[in-house]
Amino acid sequence: MKNHPTEPVLPGDPLEGAGGSFREHRVEVEAGVDLRAFEWSGLDRSEAPLLLVAGWITIVDSWAPVLARLAQTRRVIYLESREKASAGIRSEAMHKDSFRVECLGRDIEAVASGVGLKLEETVLVGSSLGANAILEGLKQGARCRAAFLIGPNAEFAFPLWTRFLMRLPPGAYGPLVPLVLWYLRRFRLDVKSEPEQYERYRRTAEGADFERLKLSALALEDYRVIEDFEKIIDPVSVAFASSDHLHGEANARRLAEALPRGTALACPSNAFLHRPDVVDEIDRYVKMVS
């Protein structure tokens, strides 16, 4: 795997210095595909290094407050997975199979190697699709110190009408973004109690690369995660909020029970899981299993 020059490029540090020293990496994970990763490191490295894989098409701004808090006491890598607009994907690799969760899982180990991170000493944190990517990476033999997963999906149950949308040309997606946001707001999210969750999805949808969004959605259409869990021998915490109807408490508990060293962690809200306070839960869990 090839690690490209790590000089920061515009727009520069997404944390604007709040995370200490900053570097940007581009790592080739397979022929025709290279990914962007951000790295921060404060003066205090008392905690184990941490690699964060965000959710589907999530933008780094959504995690900035958490990343700034994490970077105070450790080296932090934020990986932008291949469905993000920042990924370099040549035309021959731009097809549905390139966006399978199994590929996202392999990317984690490749990026860790590319930035000089010993994965077996690293805490892996993932949210939604990023959490599923971590599970796939662990099933494929990657090792970590511990994994802290926020709202992983037991399956991706797309409504029938969205399956129709997946087959439209990518150019038709832009005008449909308001419809998708309305559906999330009306049926899947508790906007009154947790407006931050809806705002994250709104900013994410409006900044998405629609061709990659379509291919990624098609790759997820029949995905099921609960298989080969016996291969995961490292401790995994599955964090959830009862108010998060999009990912579901029942699915989170089912995943935790199926994992050999799984732990279900109930948290106050989805918003809490994306605020700096979640760092205390991560550190508490890592200390417990260490």
pLDDT digits (tens, 9 = 90+) for 245-263: 555 688 889 999 999 999 9
103-126: average pLDDT: 97
Q: What is the mean pLDDT of residues 60-85?
A: 95
3-class SS at 194?
coil
| Residues 6 or more apart in contact with residue 229 via CB below 8 angstroms | 139, 258, 259, 260
Q: How confident is the model at residue 4 (pLDDT cuts 50, 70, 90)?
A: very low
Among residues of the chain, what percentage have pLDDT more than 70?
82
pLDDT at residue 10, rounded to an integer = 36
Residue 270, helix vs strand vs coil? coil
Q: What is the mean pLDDT of residues 230-255?
A: 85
Across 14-28, 102-116, 193-207, 253-267, least confident range: 193-207
Give the per-residue pLDDT at 158: 66
- Name which residue leads in pLDDT, 155 or 37: 37
What token pair was written down for 71?
Answer: 């970077």
Q: How confident is the model at residue 161 (pLDDT cuts 50, 70, 90)?
A: low
Confidence band (pLDDT; 50, 70, 90) for 13? very high
At 247 the pLDDT is 55
* Residue 10 DSSP one-character state: T
With a cut of 70, say whether residue 198 has pLDDT above it.
no
Q: What is the pLDDT of residue 173?
A: 66
pTM value surpassing 0.75: yes
pLDDT of residue 33: 98
Which residues, 6 or more positions from 103, have their beta carbon under 8 angstroms from its beta carbon?
Answer: 30, 82, 97
Instruction: Give the chain's mean pLDDT.
Output: 86
Specify the pLDDT at position 172.
67
CATH, range 2-157+223-289: 3.40.50.1820
Radius of gyration of the chain (CA): 18
> 123 or 154, which is more confident?
123
Burial class of residue 255 in the structure, from the number of CB atoms within 10 Å of its CB (0-12 exposed, 13-18 middle, 19+ buried): buried
The band of 217, judged by pLDDT with boundaries at 50, 70 and 90, is: confident
CB contact set of 164 (below 8 Å; sequence gap of 6+): none
Which amino acid is it at 176?
A: L
Cα 87 to Cα 26, 27, 102, 107, 132, distances in angstroms = 9, 10, 17, 12, 19
